[in-house]
Structure 1
Amino acid sequence: MFIYTVRASTLRFVGVLCVALVTLITLLAFVPSLGDNNTPAGAPASNSQAIRYDKIKSAADAAEFLSQFGWKVKPTPVEETEVTIPSEFDRIFTSYNEIQKQQGLDLSKYKRKTVKRYTFELAEYNGYDGRVYANVLVYRNRVIGGDICSADMTGFMHGFDVN
């Protein structure tokens, strides 16, 4: 026969532990999540306004997404195509993914995935007279990447934020 004695302090400790556990579970269940503003972790918030990265089902939705950053694009996309994110990133794609990481996105999660790319011509770009394009990469109706770039060989490329 096995006899085990329990002290009052042990019972009190177990009781406090149970109450703390129930409180924690209740908080997790009923307090709204802080990350539910549809912004990827680490994504900068332009103009202190929440940027929506989801519900991109058409070119018009992609153009509206760009307008959240202050970009005015021509209404019809220059190109709307499907591209595949490579399974291995070369030097160029690694540097492109660094641009994505700076804006809180990461294409490495989408290796070997086929995504839709919308390319728009910007109506204007302050301080630059040449053609400037905006690319938006969408996977399952969610923006996963993109850039603003010039069409010149010695041009520029940066993330969505107006710098």
Structure 2
Amino acid sequence: MFTVSFRVTKKQVAAAAAVFVLALAGGIWAQAALSELRGDPAQAPAEAKVEKVAAKTNEQRISFLETFGWEVEGEEDEIVEVKIPQEFDDVFEKYNEIQKQQGCDLSKYAGKRCKRYTYVIENYPGQAEGVRANILVYKNKVIGGDVCSVELDGFMHGFAQRTD
């Protein structure tokens, strides 16, 4: 009989969880980048500008999404602390292009920690389920975000509804 044991600290578990969340977000951003390379209409052509609105409460965040015509469930699907990378790789540069189209620029927040609030969108045209809105919040203000599909061949674009 062979036995292996090891000790895991809370800090190691937290670090592993953070790596998992960042890898998941990177996968979504990679999908958006691949969609653009394939010529898919993943980004909305002309995004509405996002003003740095208050996003301290759930009601404020839902109201923000409603200004773009989105109907969401009453509670967040997920709340995660994320760190904006100090240096952007190609995938994050593509994601930041989506942000710039809607009047945001995440390079101002490089190296900063923010919260990502994810909501389930209930009225996405042509898709009954699997669509999420992600709002990035820093110091209780919206600094960016996206609307994306969680499907394997999904999409990602800014908050404005696509016109295609």
Q: Structure 1 residue 78: deviation in Å?
A: 0.7
Letter paired with 1:54: V
> What letter corresponds to residue 62 of structure 1 in structure 2?
R
Whether 1:135 aligns to 2:139 is no
Match of 2:159 in 1: 160
Residue 146 of structure 2 corresponds to: 147
- TM-score normalised by L of structure 2: 0.66
TM superposition shift of 1:108: 0.4
Partners of 2:99 and 2:158 within 8 A in 1: yes
Instruction: Tell me how far 1:128 sits from its aligned partner.
Output: 2.0
Instruction: Give 1:63 deviation, angstroms.
Output: 1.2
Q: Residue 125 of structure 1: SS of its match in structure 2?
A: coil
Aligned to 1:60: 59
Check conservation: 1:59, 1:118, Cα contact below 8 A.
Answer: no
Identical amino acids, percent of aligned pairs: 49
> 1:68-122: per-residue Cα shift (whole Å, max 9, x none)?
1110000111101211101011111110000001111100000011111100000
Q: Which residue pairs with 1:86 in the alignment?
A: 85
Amino acid at match of 1:93: F
Unaligned residue ranges in structure 2 (runs of 5+): 1-46
Query: Conserved in 1, the CA contact under 8 Å of 2:122 and 2:129?
Result: no
- 1:73 and 1:44 map into 2 onto residues whose CA distance is 19
Rounded Cα–Cα distance in structure 2 between residues aligned with 1:59 and 1:66? 11
1:129 is displaced (CA, Å) by: 3.3
Report the AA paired with residue 150 of structure 2.
A
How many angstroms apart in 1 are the aligned matches of 2:121 and 2:83?
24
**How does 1:116-135 map onto structure 2 within 5 Å?**
116-135=115-134
RMSD: 1.5
Q: What do the CA deviations read for 1:4-56 (whole angstroms, capped 9, x no partner)?
A: xxxxxxxxxxxxxxxxxxxxxxxxxxxxxxxxxxxxxxx735xxxxx653221
Residue 68 (structure 2) pairs with residue 69 (structure 1): yes
Larger RCO, structure (CA 8 Å, separation 6 or more): 2
Q: Say which one has the larger Rg.
A: 1
Shift of 1:61: 1.4
Distance in 2, matches of 1:73 and 1:64, equals 10
Post-superposition CA distance 1:105-163 (Å, at most 9, x none): 10000001111110000012111234100000011121110000001111000000112
SS at match of 2:107: helix
Helix, strand or coil at the partner of 2:96: helix
